[in-house]
Amino acid sequence: MKKLIDICDIQYGYAFDSAYFTENSCYPPLARIRDVKRGYSETYYSGGYSEEYILASGDLLVGMDGEFNIARWKCDGALLNQRVCRLLAKKGTNEEYLRFAMMKVLKEIERRTAFVTVKHLSAKELNKLQLVVPDLSTQNKVAEILSRLEKIIGLRRQELKRLDDLIKARFVEMFGDPILNPKGWEMVAVGDIVTDVRYGTSKPAVEGGKYPYLRMNNLTSDGHLDLKDLKYIDISDDEIEKCVVRKGDVLFNRTNSIELVGKTAVFDLPEDMVIAGYIIRVRLNEKLLPEIFSQYMNLEAIKSILRGMAKGAVNQANINAQELQSIKVYIPSMELQNQFVEMKEQVDKSKVKVQKALDETQKLFDSLMQQYFG
């Protein structure tokens, strides 16, 4: 075990004056906490600065607030902002090994502080961090294995995204732009094609509850269900019909950040579940298939309408059931709707295979991380 400061130099960021923050890309980008994970910034700095804070592509950065992240920076010339630090490996330390070791340590810190609303990592804590550091030859071998697996994971995720993009492109090709409606489909309000629209329950999740409990984080921004963090709830028999979701129902996330409000997904699982109050359950009549409606609602043009419609409170935006039902949607021929669903089912089969391969590789990666770093 060695202290972090013994195997690398740590450079802490500077508190650049926010009065000079700009969206003008003529100035150097500013590496802020929120930018560490993605490796680039859309905030720029028009004030003066010292050259010691200039970053290079490939620099290893740590975000010290919120969700602790460590990642490679992706461009030259950015500036190192406060609450972000740069790690520079000393002689005898493989910097990729350092990245993986820090990844494991930061996850452990997050696990220990799971119930802290806003997490902070101080310079004092960072300096005291201890890592498993074998000889350089072993470091090189570990870094090579983990890097190879990480690359495969990245390729699998890209493959899934390409398959999703294929579905989206095929949807617009078959049905046309939702605003221009070049194919001249009948346009109706959502309220004209629903048989039932209901909010979920406001009751809290409980340990050992009878029903799986879907919350807004269980809906992804691209229209899928994510059941990794699934809670459970108890609902009385006389209340269950008000908030239960069944196969074929459409779920609409009515309250979230302005970027995420309006997430829509088809519930396509055989097991009944219960939805939380931030979700609206929509049941459609025979004119529009659930898969078509969900895909339509997740088009960027419709998301833009939803963002404009959302009433923003502090950090929250809301679209109520009446507003949802006022949105215009086109009604393509049922023959074409069925063709799209059949195409999507075929693509989804490919996605299942890719997802399985991704899950297996991720499981191996996680196992080796535990083996190497404890």
- Whether 256 shows a pLDDT value over 80: the answer reads yes
Taken as a whole, the chain contains a residue count of 374
Query: Span 312-329, mean pLDDT?
Result: 87
- Whether 182 shows a pLDDT value over 70: the answer reads yes
pLDDT value at residue 314: 61
Q: Average model confidence (pLDDT) for the chain?
A: 94
Separation between Cα atoms, residue 230 and residue 252, nearest integer Å = 17
CA quadruple 72, 75, 76, 81: dihedral positive or negative? negative
| Segments of 19-145 assigned E as strands | 21-22, 30-31, 44-45, 60-63, 69-72, 79-80, 84-89, 130-131
Task: Determine phi and psi for 338, rounding to 5 degrees.
Answer: -65, -35
3-class DSSP state for residue 74?
coil
Fold of 186-331: Adenine-n6-DNA-methyltransferase TaqI; Chain A, domain 2 (3.90.220)
Helix, strand counts (H, E) of the chain: 9, 23
pLDDT value at residue 312: 66
- Whether 358 shows a pLDDT value over 70: the answer reads yes
Fold of 134-182+332-374: Helix Hairpins (1.10.287)
pLDDT value at residue 305: 93
pLDDT value at residue 226: 93
Contact 216, 263 (CB under 8 A): yes
Separation between Cα atoms, residue 329 and residue 179, nearest integer Å = 9
Q: What is the pLDDT of residues 210-225, one digit of tens each?
A: 999 999 999 998 899 9
Query: Span 157-161, mean pLDDT?
Result: 97
Q: What is the pLDDT of residues 91-145, one digit of tens each?
A: 999 999 999 999 999 999 888 876 666 788 999 999 889 999 999 999 999 999 9
pLDDT value at residue 114: 65
- Whether 315 shows a pLDDT value over 80: the answer reads no
Tell me how far the alpha carbon of residue 41 is from its chain's centroid: 17
> Which residues share a beta bridge with 245?
273
Percentage above 90 pLDDT, the chain: 87
Fold of 2-131: Adenine-n6-DNA-methyltransferase TaqI; Chain A, domain 2 (3.90.220)
Buried b / exposed e over 302-317, threshold 16 CB at 10 Å, is bbebbbebbeeeeeeb
Separation between Cα atoms, residue 318 and residue 321, nearest integer Å = 10
Query: Residue 110, by phi and psi: left (phi above 0), alpha (psi -120 to 50) or beta?
Result: alpha
Q: What is the pLDDT of residues 164-173, one digit of tens each?
A: 999 999 999 9
In CATH terms, are 2-131 and 186-331 the same topology?
Answer: yes
Number of Cβ within a 10 Å radius of residue 287: 16
pLDDT value at residue 112: 83
Q: Angle, nearest 10°, between helix axes 334-373 and 290-297?
A: 70
Query: Span 255-260, mean pLDDT?
Result: 89
- Whether 271 shows a pLDDT value over 90: the answer reads yes
Number of Cβ within a 10 Å radius of residue 111: 8
Under the banding of pLDDT at 50, 70 and 90, the label for residue 85 is very high
Whole-number Cα distances in Å, 59 to 99, 180, 200, 215, 327: 11, 45, 46, 37, 46
Contact 265, 236 (CB under 8 A): no
Contact 261, 307 (CB under 8 A): yes
Domain ranges within the chain, ordered by starting residue: 2-131, 134-182+332-374, 186-331
- Whether 355 shows a pLDDT value over 80: the answer reads yes
